[in-house]
């Protein structure tokens, strides 16, 4: 509607501006038509009007400009195009021509969805709408936040395996094409389009790429050139916001606000005019800005001086682009014609086509122009598959220059045209086409080869020292394109594809050649290196390349010839790199009769590099050769004489030695950079293409070399040959340690070479088996969360780990509790797969896993703790020779030497770890032999490990074989822990021996099969025995477990049933609760359980002895001793509000807190953690803290000492005050006296006396200090003055005498309540102090009652300990506080309170009974009533009997008022169903109601049935009665009836009534007192406010009040994201990214962390959340940051904390920040926990706790949230 109005108003403007042009658009169209040449007419019109439309660039009125452009140019254009009303025509088109592709372009921050089950690759995404309407909604989807510039793939059949389109984009549905789809435009229209588009597009292109600053094409220079210029500032990514603002202020001398405005616009649009005027002055401004910006940053800002007309046309061109963009969405024909024009190459011209021109110009355009250009490409080319292909071809044609432009550009990738590559390269058919026809792999790699040379050093290797991170980051984008192109493997290969691919591969090898051996390092000796070299760049490139390397290998493996060809190429490249090595010198190593001749090289001396991508690629291709069997043809491609396996092994081996030497701390002086590189070398992010491949290369070496020579080479390179030749007589401890470490490292690598076979090709394993093994080994360390496992597994090119497929085979899921996360536990049957020397374990993981597994085995009562390796899978044929390493001479020598050193106790020459590895190798050897023997006849098994190991190694006298050494080792005390494994090995020797003997026997005597079976039998009986033992142990374990479970269940039950006992005894031993008393002493049960009136039961008083948590001393709580205090926290609260969002008084300077509004909109809550201290101890503690903080001025505290905050010394809860503990005063009633008094003291009499007393006071007051009288009392009261003192005659007693220290604390606490509750400066003398005391007492009770009811707990008996002691102290304090204020003041308050109930008192401004909360009144009058007994000369208080009556009558009065309140407000709605209930209560109610009608002059309907009234009253009053029971119990200490201790609600009402001396039929109360109450009742109802309510003019609170809850959240998190995506900031209309935040109290959606929604509160800028919290939660609030999936708790302006949102993925994990993006579902338990946090008033506590643990949030400015 608003739009229409504006348009109407705007037409006048347009007409005015366009001068003599006809007003009607149709006419204009005709006017166009008179011209033959459309282009000329079009341009002329633009020349005429564009400069005037866009004339004011300094302060553009965007809407007005748009409107004028529409009226003057687009309307006629559209009329001309369609020949009729364009709106009608477009609507027709829209209905018929929508595309089946969604094509929505994402803005930064928008949520995108991908489907892990169906997406071809992770770059395929859906927009929110499409996702919600697609089948993927129920698949394993991922949510992500777009960085902007992406594109919804809905409808693209190549992007999805299933469900390529959502219901909206499915053909045949309502909003899309009908049968004759792709609606053909009629020919007339087509002709118009073909006529008009070329001119329009040409203008758009020409102006977009226009470079002249001062001139326009001649056709536009129709009038005389004015000297009107703009100084235009451009956006870049180098200058920060503040830099630009600063430069502008300096250069232009403008205000901060203006500079900010400019800067924001520049950041958003990309450019903006900052000054206008004649050329000279703009030029000056330009120089100034450049100069000033250069000062702050190295380079100047980009500024241009543009002529006003140039600026106008450029601006209009963009507007035209948007117009085209809109038009594109209507028809496929529009798009096709557009694309054709854009692609048309001018004949015999070198110039690229229009679209390529725009692409090539992209990097020169400003942000706003780029955005429009890219959107146009999306909406045209990308919506038509055929043209997308043609576009892609153009894109690849100019790929190199485009990327180069991008690399030197200073804008983000998301706004570069190069970012479009992902849209094309990931489409499988398109990728294949581009490879075949455009040779795109080679194009990309050559681009890399052209941009990387600046990093080449003299050896033609890359060297990234001193690189620019930004620039290199841009190079990654090119690498990424390579990944996109390779992401889907072609299903079939054409010859052309093979040729092109191989060409690309060759080119890629050239990049790898530059990396092979790059960034060599040399060991630093003596001096530490001065500067750590840059290593990140090289490692980062390695990471980027990891999956590309793997994909290349996979692509190669698709075809045997291709693989062999690629292998040959790669081999040649490796050889080229290897032979160029410097040293030609040779060394000779001899050991055990074997000789190795090798090149002289030492890792510890010569340069070494960790980067060997060529060697590793070759290793990768090698295992693929082995896997496919193509290895048999290798000879044809690489003749064996050229193969040179030693050279291939050399470099990876050096790398492994480097790792060993780093571990041995030999490279300490090379600094941290090396440590980091070694870390990444083995880390999951890199290891597949680094460490793993190096191990494979060693395995290749071991399989092709003589085993002895192989081991000699290893010894040589580890520089350990000497260590195994002779005993090194060294005294240098460091050196021995170093040697030992190196030996350990070498043994470990040998274990890996022989034992690690989990690679397809090395053995016949599948990918699933590999993943399973990785997971098993991770879970052997500890149970892990899904995300933790995923993080520890390598990701493939699609970011998948394959985890989900196998996890349930090896592990069981354990659900999380209310906190923490779900974990996977290893299945028991998988434990046997555990390999202690798993090659992906880090050192810590290794020892943790060992510890864990030993512990597990111990728990299961296994008789041994040995952890032998599981039998490894068999090597595939190409690798079968590797096992020969195990039984070769050198290996035997190594093993024997180490064992011998251990036996000879040459302590410094061996370590336990070393022995462990030797034993592991022995296990591997024996297992291998056993496996071979089991498979083949003995004589065919040449693997003779057993034989070699039991042979003497030398002829020396003391020579021993390995078996003998092992026997001796058993007695070495240091090796106690290895005993089990040694026994296991010895047993294994036996087994192998028997296998050997058995099979040889079997051969010798073919008939004696019995022997063999016997052997088997002994084996099996052994096994059986073992199994039996195990079974028994297992049974015993289960039994024990069962008993333990039973016991703990019993214990739990006991605790449950005796919870009270437990809680009470646990903490303070001296204190015994009154409730407790009864349970432990059921005999003394007989006293009355009535709290009020003459039948009042005795106070159960116990001697209270408390222990101070600070000094640990005990003290009895007494009136006259030093005060003890309870730590406490006072806070404002809206937890009970019935009127959320009501404007709260932010400062209480003038606020009158005496009456609580019945909506409880804001109260003051006092909570305690229940910890007791001496007042003196606490004061000392607090002072010490103050002193401490003063000394450390700059350390931020989490608590605000100024406001009395501190952390409880015991539990670290945040507190801001202490409650003094005041003992309960004993009150006993003599029942006879009580009876006597009852005779005289009726309610009427009591009222009379009270009135007399009050009017007496008033008389006195008005006589004395008139001006201070709060109220005027009617003269009619005068007659009671004679009875002024009669109140005293019913019993008085002296007031309690509190020790001075207690008094002091009473004042202190009361002042805190006042200060916090009203947000005012402390003032001990303020008259509102007692009011606040009563108020917090009442409010806190109401909060607790509400909570207990919500949790379904009993009123008494289920209070938490801290609630119990807090409440007790609070009520006692509230009763005692009166004594520290002037009694006349209390009296004044009392009179005002009573005036609500007793209208006769006629106090001004008394609210009607509908406008107050009755429980607050009750607490107030009961606590202030004793002030009536005060006499100036003596300090008196009512006696027990007096009190009993006072309480009774006050309570009855308030109750009757409350019933009236309920009837008036809550019993008005008529029930639909008729009930037959005709109880006594119903009858009384009905008759009472009749009275009621009369008194309300008929406003209250009398048709309401009695039973309904009764129901309403009963329901409505229960919370009040429960609160009253709590209050009187804690005040008087009278034991409550049993029924109130029970959870069941059945007897509750009756028990409440009995405890509070009420008839269960509450209406009888009125009957009983009718004479007295009737006049009161009439006055209540006659109150104007009540009458106006009854006439329906005001709304009021209904009873029972509704319980507050956190807002309902959807089950599925994506619907919240959906909500957020529709969020529009209420204050600004731009499309900038917003941070929508949801208030969980009220459901408001706020625009957080954004300047647009900041609010000025008391002179301070507050963010939307912070200012909302002030109203919604009195400063404390709970929000959900939707995009981040986090909960925010805030308090005030300075504090807050973040929490994961209560949403869990299927693995029981939260996902703060939506980093993993798994589907999330609401966890009700966790949400409930947040709710309780709120209702228990623990948010502040939680914030303090979290701030204490996560110190990082200090830096955050919560104020602006």
Which residues contact Zn ion (rule: CB under 5 A)?
Answer: 102, 104, 115, 117-118, 127, 130, 136, 139, 152, 154, 166, 168-169, 1108, 1110-1111, 1169, 1171, 1174, 1177, 1208, 1210-1211, 1213, 1625, 1627, 1639, 1641-1642, 1644, 1647, 1650, 1652-1653, 1672
Nearest to 1361 by CA among 1742, 1737, 1733, 1062: 1062
Backbone phi, psi, residue 934, to 5°? -70, -20
Distance CA 574, CA 480 (A): 25
Helix axes 354-361, 332-343, angle to 10 degrees: 80
* C-beta of 547 vs 1667, nearer to Zn ion: 1667
Q: Which residue reads 């232009």 in tokens?
A: 252
The least distance separating Zn ion from the CB of residue 170, rounded to whole angstroms, comes to 8
* C-beta of 270 vs 1167, nearer to Zn ion: 1167
Compute, in degrees rounded to 10, the torsion defined by CA atoms 141, 147, 151, 153: -10
* C-beta of 613 vs 1170, nearer to Zn ion: 1170
The least distance separating Zn ion from the CB of residue 1122, rounded to whole angstroms, comes to 9
- Residues 862, 832: contact at Cβ < 8 Å? no
Copy the structure tokens of residue 461. Answer: 């290797």
* C-beta of 293 vs 1213, nearer to Zn ion: 1213
Beta pairing, strands 271-277 & 1660-1662: unpaired
* C-beta of 161 vs 1058, nearer to Zn ion: 161
Distance CA 867, CA 978 (A): 10
* C-beta of 627 vs 1635, nearer to Zn ion: 1635
The least distance separating Zn ion from the CB of residue 1072, rounded to whole angstroms, comes to 21
Q: Provide the strand spans (E) within 960-1104.
A: none
Distance CA 1643, CA 1608 (A): 8
* C-beta of 581 vs 1628, nearer to Zn ion: 1628
Distance CA 838, CA 825 (A): 19
Q: How far is CA 841 from CA 458, 652, 699, 771, 825, in A?
A: 38, 20, 19, 14, 18
The least distance separating Zn ion from the CB of residue 1133, rounded to whole angstroms, comes to 14
* C-beta of 1167 vs 1506, nearer to Zn ion: 1167
Nearest to 411 by CA among 454, 453, 374: 374
The least distance separating Zn ion from the CB of residue 102, rounded to whole angstroms, comes to 3
Query: Which H, E and C letters describe 1204-1243, residue by residue?
Result: CCEECCCCCCEECEEEECCCCCCCCCCHHHHHHHHHHCCH
Secondary structure (3-state) at 121? coil
- Residues 1145, 1100: contact at Cβ < 8 Å? no
* C-beta of 1524 vs 1625, nearer to Zn ion: 1625
Cβ burial of 1118 (10 Å; 0-12, 13-18, 19+) is middle
The least distance separating Zn ion from the CB of residue 441, rounded to whole angstroms, comes to 30
The least distance separating Zn ion from the CB of residue 1110, rounded to whole angstroms, comes to 5
Phi-psi map region of 522: left, alpha, beta (phi>0 left; psi -120 to 50 alpha): beta
* C-beta of 261 vs 1211, nearer to Zn ion: 1211
**What residues pair up with 1647 in beta bridges, in sequence order?**
1636
* C-beta of 772 vs 1144, nearer to Zn ion: 1144
The least distance separating Zn ion from the CB of residue 1730, rounded to whole angstroms, comes to 14
* C-beta of 234 vs 1181, nearer to Zn ion: 1181
* C-beta of 1122 vs 1237, nearer to Zn ion: 1122
* C-beta of 332 vs 447, nearer to Zn ion: 332
The least distance separating Zn ion from the CB of residue 376, rounded to whole angstroms, comes to 18
Say if residue 399 is preceded by a cis peptide, omega within 30 of 0: no
Q: How far is CA 1442 from CA 681, 1222, 1449, in A?
A: 87, 22, 11
The least distance separating Zn ion from the CB of residue 1641, rounded to whole angstroms, comes to 4
Number of H helices, E strands in the chain: 63, 27
The least distance separating Zn ion from the CB of residue 922, rounded to whole angstroms, comes to 52
Q: Which residue reads 């309610």 in tokens?
A: 1243
The least distance separating Zn ion from the CB of residue 1678, rounded to whole angstroms, comes to 9
Distance of CA 935 to the CA centre of its chain: 55
* C-beta of 25 vs 1366, nearer to Zn ion: 1366
- Any residues with CB less than 8 A from the CB of 1328 and at least 6 apart, and which? 1152, 1153, 1154, 1314, 1318
* C-beta of 1066 vs 1191, nearer to Zn ion: 1066
Distance CA 1333, CA 538 (A): 69
Compute, in degrees rounded to 10, the torsion defined by CA atoms 833, 836, 838, 844: 130
* C-beta of 673 vs 1213, nearer to Zn ion: 1213
Distance CA 458, CA 1193 (A): 55
* C-beta of 103 vs 1223, nearer to Zn ion: 103
- Residues 308, 236: contact at Cβ < 8 Å? no
CA angle 166, 171, 175 (to 5 degrees): 80
Distance CA 332, CA 341 (A): 14
Output DSSP code: residue 1139.
Answer: S
Copy the structure tokens of residue 657. Answer: 């030695």
Contacts 24+ apart (CB under 8 A), 19-28: 21/72, 25/75, 25/76, 25/78, 25/79, 26/79, 28/75, 28/76, 28/79
The least distance separating Zn ion from the CB of residue 1695, rounded to whole angstroms, comes to 18
Distance CA 81, CA 48 (A): 21
The least distance separating Zn ion from the CB of residue 1672, rounded to whole angstroms, comes to 3
């Amino acid at each position: 509607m608003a739009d229409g109005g504006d348009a109407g108003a705007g037409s006048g403007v347009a007409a005015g501006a366009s001068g003599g042009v006809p007003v009607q658009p149709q006419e204009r169209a005709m006017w166009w038509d008179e011209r033959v040449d459309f282009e000329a007419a079009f341009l002329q019109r633009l020349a005429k009007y564009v400069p005037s439309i866009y004339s004011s660039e300094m302060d553009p009125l965007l809407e007005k400009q748009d409107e004028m452009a529409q009226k003057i140019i687009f309307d006629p254009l559209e009329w001309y195009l369609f020949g009729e009303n364009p709106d009608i025509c477009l609507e027709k088109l829209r209905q018929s021509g929508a595309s089946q592709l969604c094509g929505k372009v994402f803005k930064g921050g928008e949520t995108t969805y991908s489907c892990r089950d169906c997406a071809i690759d992770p770059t395929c995404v859906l927009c929110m709408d499409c996702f919600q309407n697609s089948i993927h909604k129920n698949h394993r989807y991922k949510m992500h936040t777009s960085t902007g510039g992406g594109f919804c793939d809905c409808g693209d059949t190549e992007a999805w395996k299933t469900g390529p389109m959502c219901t909206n984009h499915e053909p045949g549905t309502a909003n899309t094409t009908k049968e004759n789809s792709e609606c053909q435009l009629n020919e007339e229209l087509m002709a118009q389009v073909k006529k008009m588009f070329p001119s329009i597009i040409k203008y758009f292109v020409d102006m977009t790429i226009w470079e002249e600053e001062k001139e326009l094409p001649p056709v536009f220079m129709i009038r005389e050139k004015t000297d009107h210029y703009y100084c235009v500032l451009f956006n870049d990514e180098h200058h920060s916001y503040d830099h630009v603002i600063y430069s502008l202020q300096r250069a232009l001398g403008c205000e901060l606000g203006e500079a900010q405005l400019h800067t924001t616009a520049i950041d958003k649009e990309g450019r903006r005019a900052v000054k206008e005027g004649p050329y000279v002055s703009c030029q000056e401004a330009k120089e100034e800005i450049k100069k000033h910006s250069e000062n702050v940053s190295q380079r100047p800002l980009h500024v241009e001086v543009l002529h006003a007309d140039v600026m106008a046309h450029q601006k209009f061109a963009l507007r035209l682009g948007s117009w085209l963009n809109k038009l594109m969405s209507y028809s496929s024909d529009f798009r096709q014609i557009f694309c054709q024009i854009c692609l048309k190459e001018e004949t015999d011209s070198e110039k690229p086509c229009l679209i390529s021109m725009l692409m090539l110009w992209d990097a020169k355009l400003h942000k706003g122009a780029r955005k429009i250009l890219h959107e146009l490409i999306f909406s045209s080319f990308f919506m038509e598959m055929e043209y997308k292909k043609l576009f892609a071809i153009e894109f690849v044609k100019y790929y190199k220059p485009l990327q180069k432009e991008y690399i030197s550009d200073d804008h983000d990738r998301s706004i570069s045209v190069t970012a479009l590559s992902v849209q094309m390269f990931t489409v499988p058919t398109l990728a294949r086409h581009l490879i075949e026809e455009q040779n795109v792999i080679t194009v990309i790699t050559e681009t890399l080869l052209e941009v990387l040379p600046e990093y080449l050093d003299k050896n033609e290797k890359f060297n990234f020292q001193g690189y620019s991170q930004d620039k290199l980051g841009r190079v990654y984008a090119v690498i990424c394109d390579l990944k996109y192109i390779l992401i889907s493997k072609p299903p079939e290969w054409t010859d052309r594809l093979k040729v092109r691919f191989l060409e690309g591969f060759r080119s890629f090898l050239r990049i790898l050649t530059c990396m092979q051996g790059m960034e060599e390092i040399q060991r630093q000796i003596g001096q530490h290196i001065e500067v750590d070299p840059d290593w990140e760049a090289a490692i980062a490139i390695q990471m980027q390349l990891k999956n590309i390397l793997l994909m290349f290998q996979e692509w190669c493996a698709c075809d045997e010839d291709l693989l062999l060809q690629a292998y040959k190429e790669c081999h040649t490249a490796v050889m080229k790199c290897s032979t160029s090595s410097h040293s030609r010198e040779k060394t000779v190593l001899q050991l055990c009769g074997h000789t190795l001749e090798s090149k002289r090289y030492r890792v510890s001396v010569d340069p070494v590099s960790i980067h060997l991508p060529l060697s590793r690629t070759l290793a990768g291709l090698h295992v693929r050769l082995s896997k496919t069997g193509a290895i048999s043809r290798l000879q044809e491609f690489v003749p064996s004489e050229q193969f040179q396996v030693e050279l291939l092994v050399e470099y990876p081996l050096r790398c492994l030695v480097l790792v060993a030497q780093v571990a041995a701390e030999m490279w300490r002086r090379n600094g941290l950079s090396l440590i980091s590189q070694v870390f990444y070398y083995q880390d999951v992010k890199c290891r597949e293409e680094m460490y793993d491949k190096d191990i494979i290369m060693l395995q290749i070496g071991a399989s092709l070399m003589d085993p002895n020579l192989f081991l000699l080479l290893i010894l040589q390179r580890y520089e350990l040959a000497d260590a195994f030749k002779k005993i090194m007589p060294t005294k240098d401890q460091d050196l021995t340690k170093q040697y030992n470490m190196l030996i350990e490292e070498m043994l470990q690598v040998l274990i890996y070479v022989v034992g690690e076979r989990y690679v397809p090709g090395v053995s016949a394993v599948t990918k699933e088996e590999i993943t399973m093994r990785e997971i098993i080994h991770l879970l052997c360390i500890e149970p892990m969360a899904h995300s933790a496992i995923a993080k520890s597994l390598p990701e493939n090119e699609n970011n998948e780990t394959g985890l989900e497929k196998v996890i349930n085979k090896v592990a069981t899921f354990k659900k999380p509790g209310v906190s923490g996360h779900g974990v996977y536990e290893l299945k028991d049957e998988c434990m046997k797969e555990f390999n202690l020397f798993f090659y992906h374990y880090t050192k810590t993981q290794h020892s943790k896993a060992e510890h864990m597994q030993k512990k597990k085995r111990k728990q299961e009562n296994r008789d041994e703790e040995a952890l032998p390796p599981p039998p490894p899978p068999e090597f595939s044929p190409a690798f079968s020779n590797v096992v020969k390493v195990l039984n070769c001479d050198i290996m035997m020598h190594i093993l024997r030497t180490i064992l011998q050193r251990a036996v000879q106790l040459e302590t410094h020459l061996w370590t336990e770890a070393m022995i462990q590895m030797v034993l592991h190798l022995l296990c591997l050897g024996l297992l291998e032999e056993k496996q071979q023997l089991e498979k083949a006849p003995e004589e065919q098994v040449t693997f003779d490990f057993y034989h070699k190991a039991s042979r003497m190694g030398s002829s020396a006298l003391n020579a021993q074989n390995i078996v003998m050494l092992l026997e001796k080792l058993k007695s070495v005390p240091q090796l106690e822990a290895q005993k089990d494994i040694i026994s296991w090995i010895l047993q294994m020797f036996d087994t192998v021996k028997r296998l050997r003997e058995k099979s040889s026997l079997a051969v010798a005597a073919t008939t004696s099969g019995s022997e063999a079976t016997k052997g088997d039998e002994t084996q099996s009986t052994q096994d059986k025995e073992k199994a039996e033992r195990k079974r028994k142990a297992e049974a015993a374990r289960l039994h024990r477990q069962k008993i333990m479970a039973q016991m703990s269940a019993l214990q739990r039950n006991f605790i449950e049933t005796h919870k009270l006992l437990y809680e009470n005894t646990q903490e303070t031993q001296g204190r015994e609760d009154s409730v407790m008393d009864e349970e432990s002493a059921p005999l003394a049960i007989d006293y009355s359980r009535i709290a009020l009136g003459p039948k009042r039961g005795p106070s159960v008083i116990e001697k209270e002895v408390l222990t101070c948590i600070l000094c640990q001393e005990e003290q009895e709580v007494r009136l006259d001793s030093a005060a003890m205090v309870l730590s406490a926290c006072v806070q404002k609260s809206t937890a009970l509000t019935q009127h959320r969002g009501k404007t709260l008084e932010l400062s209480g300077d003038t606020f009158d807190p005496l009456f609580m509004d019945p909506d409880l909109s804001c109260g003051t809550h006092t909570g305690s953690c229940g910890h007791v201290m001496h007042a003196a101890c606490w004061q000392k503690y607090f002072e010490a803290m103050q002193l401490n903080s003063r000394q450390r001025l700059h350390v931020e505290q989490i608590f605000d000492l100024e406001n009395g905050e501190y952390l409880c010394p015991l539990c670290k809860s945040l507190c801001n005050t202490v409650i003094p503990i005041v003992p309960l005063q004993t009150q006993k009633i003599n029942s006879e006296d009580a009876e006597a008094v009852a005779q005289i003291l009726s309610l009427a009499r009591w009222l009379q006396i009270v009135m007399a007393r009050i009017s007496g006071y008033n008389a006195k007051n008005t006589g004395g200090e008139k001006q201070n009288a709060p109220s005027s009392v009617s003269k009619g009261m005068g007659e009671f003055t004679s009875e002024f003192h009669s109140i005293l005659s019913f019993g008085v007693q002296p007031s309690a005498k509190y020790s001075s220290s207690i008094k002091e604390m009473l004042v202190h606490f009361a002042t805190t309540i006042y200060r916090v509750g009203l947000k005012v400066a402390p003032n001990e003398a303020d008259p509102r102090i007692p009011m606040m005391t009563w108020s917090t007492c009442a409010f806190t009770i109401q909060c607790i009652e509400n909570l207990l009811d919500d949790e379904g707990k009993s009123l008494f008996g289920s209070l938490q300990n801290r609630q119990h002691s807090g409440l007790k102290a609070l009520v006692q304090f509230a009763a005692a506080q009166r004594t520290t204020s002037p009694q006349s003041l209390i009296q004044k308050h009392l009179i005002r309170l009573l005036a609500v109930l007793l209208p006769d008192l006629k106090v001004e401004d008394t609210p009607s009974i509908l406008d107050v909360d009755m429980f607050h009144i009750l607490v107030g009058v009961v606590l202030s009533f004793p002030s009536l007994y005060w006499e100036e000369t003596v300090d008196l208080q009512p006696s027990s009997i007096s009190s009993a009556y006072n309480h009774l009558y006050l309570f009855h009065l308030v109750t009757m008022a409350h019933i009236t309140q309920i009837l008036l407000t809550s019993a008005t709605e008529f029930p639909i169903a008729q009930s037959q209930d005709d109880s006594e209560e119903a009858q009384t109610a009905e008759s009472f109601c009749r009275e009621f009608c009369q008194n309300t002059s008929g406003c209250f309907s009398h048709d309401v049935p009695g039973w309904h009234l009764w129901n309403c009253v009963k329901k409505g009053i229960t919370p009040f009665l429960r609160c009253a029971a709590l209050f009187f119990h804690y005040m008087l200490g009278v034991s409550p009836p049993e029924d109130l201790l029970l959870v069941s609600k059945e007897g509750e009402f009756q028990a409440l009534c009995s405890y509070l001396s009420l008839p269960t039929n509450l209406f009888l109360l009125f009957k009983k007192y009718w004479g007295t109450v009737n006049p009161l009742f009439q006055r209540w109802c006659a109150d104007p406010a009540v009458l106006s309510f009854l006439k329906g003019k005001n709304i009021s609170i209904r009873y029972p009040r509704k319980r507050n809850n956190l807002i309902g959240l959807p089950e599925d998190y994506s619907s919240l994201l959906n909500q957020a995506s529709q969020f529009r900031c209420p204050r600004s209309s731009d499309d900038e990214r917003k941070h929508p935040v949801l208030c969980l109290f009220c459901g408001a959606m706020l625009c957080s962390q954004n300047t647009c929604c900041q609010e000025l509160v008391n002179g301070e800028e507050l963010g939307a959340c912070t200012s909302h919290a002030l109203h919604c939660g009195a400063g404390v609030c709970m929000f959900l940051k939707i995009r981040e999936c986090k909960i925010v708790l805030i308090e005030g302006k300075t504090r807050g904390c973040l929490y994961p949102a209560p949403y869990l993925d299927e693995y029981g994990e939260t996902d703060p920040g939506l980093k993993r993006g798994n589907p999330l579902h609401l966890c009700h338990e966790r949400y409930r926990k947040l709710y309780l946090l709120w209702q228990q008033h623990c948010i502040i506590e939680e914030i303090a706790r979290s701030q204490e643990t996560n110190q990082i949030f200090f830096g955050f400015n919560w104020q602006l949230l």
